[in-house]
Amino acid sequence: MAPTNHQETQTIFASAFLNTLLLALPSAILLYGLFGEWQRALRTTYLLLAMAPVLCLLYWRLRQGKSRQVLIGLSLLMWLGLSVQIVTAATLSNPVTPLLIYLAAIGSYAQDQLLSWLNPCLCTLTILGVGVLEKLQLLPSSMPPSSLGLGLGSVVAIGFMWHLSRLNGRQLAKLNSQLHLALDAGKMHCFTLNRDRQTLLVNDETSPLLGCKPGEQPFNALTALSAESRQNLIQVCSADNDFPAFDFQLVSGPGQDRWFRLFFSTQQSQAPYLVCAMQDINEQKQTDLAKENFTAMVSHELRTPLTSLLGSLSLLRGLHGKDMPESAQQLLDMAHRGGERLAALVNEILDYFKLQAGRMPVYARMTALCPDIEQAIESVSALLQERQLTLHRDGFCNDLQAWLDSSRTQQVVINLLSNAIKFSPPGTALWMSMHYTGQHLRFSLRDSGPGIPEDFQQRIFEPFTQANMSNTREGNSTGLGLAFSQQLMHLMGGELSFSSPPGEGATFHMDMLRQPPQMAPGQTRPG
């Protein structure tokens, strides 16, 4: 059960505890008085007066949400009060004995590890101690046994159990509705797997999808699963602790051709039974397929003619550019710049989808970082000159090496430089620095822009997101650059982060490993 549900359960127990005490003690005083047992009524009155301040304090703590503290405090308070009552009465034939016995079981039901052993130990110690002393007649008998007292104590214990069962019933109904809501929202079906017998215990809801009857079914009876999927289930049965989820497609039945993902619980790794959850991921698979189709369309239907168009424009500029009128040259240059910008955006989208699909190789090795930085600066030098930006370097040294892929590192640096140039006002400066920090070599780039809005900082590395800064930002970006750069850094074992104090611009940090990463046994490095 989740920690939040533990807290809800403990709150229920603490509330039941308080309500029962506040109701039971005055009722006991009244009944003792009606039946003429004034001594017991007086003792119960003293007990109520002694406990009242502490009960008020615990009630106040419960209102503050400190349910576990209240539950422990109530358990100790009730044990102490009951123990005093039973010791001073010098007999186990006492109204508090049934309550003391029931108190021992509360800890385990309240789902608290401390109370689960503390309550039984304390209550058993009191009962055994009083029983032994009573048998040896070492306790002076101050009050004779009373059948009324025992009956009243039993009624109070039963009343507490009834009150608690009602509250628990409401809580279970609430949790059950929450569970069904979560299963419906997640499009999930649950059943049980028997690892020893290699069978599935299928319910009425899941059986039509799996092509079998409800009940315990062997793997070979699941006709809707492919042979590969059934083999994956057999491998799960032989696993020790790790039960990886896997995707499969139904081959027959009402859910034919639909994709599902099968999860297994890891909390009962030593038991023969595993709880399984089958989630419908068909929409996700369709979305992935649409992305692949979109990538193919962009690559073949857009990039190919765009490349031809740019080649023709370049050839036209080279052969006839000088012979054209100035107005025609300006139009030709504008068309060429627009084509190059469009090609850059298309390539950025294609690279991102390749990276998402795992089709962009990264070959990292120990390499000097400075040459890659210089080549990236050269790639954006025209933009720096156009906006009249000054570039300051600090800590640059050819001896600084890191674990990186040169071409991918240049892509990341170019993305960061392009962003910094767009956000920095003309005539300002950019600051670059490199230094070792712990196990990493850090490259930092700070711009002179307005900084990153605080409400956007949590989403800055999400794809297709851009801050609303129309006064400084040029509208020629897909919003993929930072998301793409961060994933490239992760593939090289590094990290991309940022800091942006208000009014001081934004600083992005590339942290690259100073040494090759430790590889798992049998694993080889790419390249």
290 — pLDDT class (breaks 50, 70, 90): confident
pLDDT at 494: 93
pLDDT tens, position by position, 433-480: 999 988 899 999 999 988 888 888 888 888 766 765 554 444 455 667
The answer to whether the CB of 122 falls within 8 A of the CB of 71 is: no
CA distance 356 to 33: 79
Mean pLDDT taken over the chain: 78
Which position has the higher pLDDT, 324 or 171?
324
Band of residue 143 on the pLDDT scale cut at 50, 70, 90: low
DSSP string over 344-398: HHHHHHHHHHHHHTT-S----EEEESHHHHHHHHHHTHHHHHHTT-EEEEES--T
Stretch 281-292: mean pLDDT: 78
Position 239 confidence tier, pLDDT thresholds 50, 70, 90: confident
**Range among 57-61, 322-326, 351-355, 362-366 with highest mean pLDDT value:** 362-366
pLDDT, residue 475, reads: 46
Q: How far apart are CA 256 and CA 382, in angstroms?
A: 56
Higher pLDDT, 145 or 206: 206
* pLDDT for residue 366 is more than 80: yes
CA atoms within 13 A on the CB side of 114: 8
pLDDT at position 506: 92
What pLDDT sits at residue 442? Answer: 94
What pLDDT is recorded for position 266? 62
Question: pLDDT tens, 240-253?
Answer: 777 778 888 888 87
pLDDT beyond 80 at 345: no
E strand spans, 427-506: 429-437, 440-446, 495-499
CA proximity to 484, closest of 341, 300, 345: 345
Q: Which of these ranges, 155-159, 235-239, 398-402, has the smallest mean pLDDT?
A: 155-159
Q: Examine the pLDDT at 41 and tell me if it is beyond 50.
A: yes
Which is more confident, 195 or 465?
195
pLDDT score of 527: 46
